[in-house]
Amino acid sequence: MISSTVKAVRFYRRGFAVEAEGQMKLEKGRQTVRIADIVSGIDDSTIRLFLPEGIYGSNVQLRYLDEEEKKKTVSKIEEEIEKVNSKIGIYEKMNEVWLNNADFSQKENIASMAEYMEKLPLKLEETANKIGELRKQLEELNKKLEEEMKKANLPFVTVDVETENETECPFRLNYYCNNAYWQPEYELHTDEDNNEITIRLKARIRQNTTTDLKDVKVSLYTGNPSVSGTIPTLYPRYVNIYQPRTMAYGGMAKNTGAQPMMSMMMEDAAASDEEAEMDYAVMAEAVSYDAKVNYGDTMMEYELNGTWNIKKNEDFICELSASKANCRYHIVSVPLMDESAYLAAEVNTSDLEDLINTEAAVYQKGAYMGKVYLAVDLTKEKYDISLGKDETIKVKRTQVRKHTSNVLLKAQKKTEYEFEINVNSTKPKACEVTVLDQIPVSQDKSIVIERKDISSAVYKEETGELKWDFSIEPGASKRLKLAYDVAWPKDKTINY
């Protein structure tokens, strides 16, 4: 059995490829070589062995020791353990003999008693030291036995090798293992003074094998070799007229329909006072980026610099890269849904192509502010990254008027709606604010929506969205008006 040493690993999002090296001593002719130190979780169909020119290998197989072979592997250590236990027993007997002979009633004279008393402590100390040394040896042998038994349960690779001359040659062994993965972790660091946001990428690596990887080259690939590469097939997609179900309520039949619902989920967290008070002008964060980026035909590779130690069953985190993106910092509020104000960084979606549908931690001047979920729509030019609630901007939406009346000449009912949105700033500096609201959209020609006053908002007719963009000075306030009418046949009921 010859050893192999893992020199490089290539982590995929699931699994990793291993590259191991070693030396083999060969006799002239044909022989079977066993290569040990194989990482657990190996896919035996992926094993590839490379030998120098002129040396031929065949019949590469993954194998395990049978029970008889396992016994042979540990038999020598077990024999040594038996010998050490025997010696310990001998010294313990010697101690027992010396203590038993300390019966002074059997001694002929005082001189012999004194001589025995003088020798007894020395002999007991000598045997105790010997027993202590032997027990240390026994402890080491038991550890060695345990390690050898673990190794005996690990796989190894066998190969039939043929050479014309006795020689010693290097070999390289490549294979793939399933029980490992890496996942990207993003951080967003804000810089309002320069209208920039820094996007940091970290990697969380884990390998759940039985082996610690020591001094290995590491690469991270953004794809998965196990994912199917089959081109999808298009099937017909049929369109039919939808007939709504009817459900009975107390003998009356009513159409059931789903009402539109909007939700906005944002997280925020407060930074600790201690962290907020750090002098970042004096202190610089201890961070370095360890990866070189290589672009392949089907996936991207992060090649880490130097060599690394990755322990089994433990998370390993490293910094990969950092990039800056220009952005516009502004306050965003959607008071129809939530009267909170949120600090946001508006960026080009093209700068976030790698961050589609992922979670990212947010830092403001080094202070952790929580995590946000990014769901970037690449069909849109801009995307707002939420950076948490801004307590220095207060937004209040109030319904000023709601009046329903009959329009006799048109046989209609009409409801007049009027709302007022007040924005107040206690910020120490001017800031840009975006307020979003909406007017309902009619899906029936008999329902008429009429805009009355939208305070110069940008209006999207297909969605009914209203958008106000404005600047607000420190301590100032801004009032926005929203008014519209809804008219419908008076013998009908609308779902609104």
Q: What are the domain boundaries of the chain?
A: 5-64+154-177, 68-152, 180-226+237-389, 393-489
> For a pLDDT cut of 70, what percent of the chain falls above it?
83
Q: Is the pLDDT assigned to residue 65 strictly greater than 70?
A: yes
- Rounded to two decimals, the pTM is 0.66
Q: Is the pLDDT assigned to residue 277 strictly greater than 60?
A: no
Q: Is the pLDDT assigned to residue 489 strictly greater than 70?
A: yes
Q: Is the pLDDT assigned to residue 481 strictly greater than 80?
A: yes
- pLDDT 10s digits, 70-129: 888 888 888 899 999 998 888 888 888 777 776 655 556 656 667 777 777 888 888 888
Return the beta strands (E) in 51-179 as ranges.
56-63, 156-163, 167-177
**Mean of the pLDDT values across residues 272-280?**
38
- pLDDT 10s digits, 35-49: 999 998 899 999 999
**What pLDDT, on the 0 to 100 scale, is given for residue 365?**
81
Which has the minimum average pLDDT: 17-26, 133-142, 234-243, 396-405? Answer: 234-243
Banded pLDDT at 11 (limits 50, 70, 90): very high
Banded pLDDT at 335 (limits 50, 70, 90): very high
Q: Sort 7 into a burial class: Cβ within 10 Å, 0-12 / 13-18 / 19+.
A: middle
Residues 6+ apart with CB under 8 A from 115: none
**Mean of the pLDDT values across residues 265-280?**
35
More confident residue, 367 or 171: 171
- pLDDT 10s digits, 374-418: 888 888 899 998 888 899 999 999 999 999 998 877 888 999 999
**What pLDDT, on the 0 to 100 scale, is given for residue 460?**
92
Q: Is the pLDDT assigned to residue 262 strictly greater than 70?
A: no
Gap between the Cα atoms of 70 and 152, Å rounded: 6
Residue 105, both tokens: 């009633």
CATH number 2.60.40.3680 is the correct assignment for the domain at 393-489: yes
Check: CB of residue 75 under 8 Å from CB of residue 199.
no
**What pLDDT, on the 0 to 100 scale, is given for residue 278?**
39
Gap between the Cα atoms of 61 and 55, Å rounded: 18
**What pLDDT, on the 0 to 100 scale, is given for residue 151?**
79
Banded pLDDT at 230 (limits 50, 70, 90): low
**What pLDDT, on the 0 to 100 scale, is given for residue 493?**
84
**What pLDDT, on the 0 to 100 scale, is given for residue 175?**
95
More confident residue, 360 or 245: 360
- Which architecture does CATH list for 68-152? Orthogonal Bundle (1.10)
Nearest to 11 by CA among 352, 360, 291, 374: 291
- pLDDT 10s digits, 179-227: 999 999 999 998 888 899 999 999 999 999 988 999 999 999 988 775 5
Nearest to 327 by CA among 355, 347, 352, 310: 347
**Mean of the pLDDT values across residues 228-254?**
48
> For a pLDDT cut of 90, what percent of the chain falls above it?
48
**What pLDDT, on the 0 to 100 scale, is given for residue 417?**
94
**What pLDDT, on the 0 to 100 scale, is given for residue 267?**
32
**What pLDDT, on the 0 to 100 scale, is given for residue 423?**
97
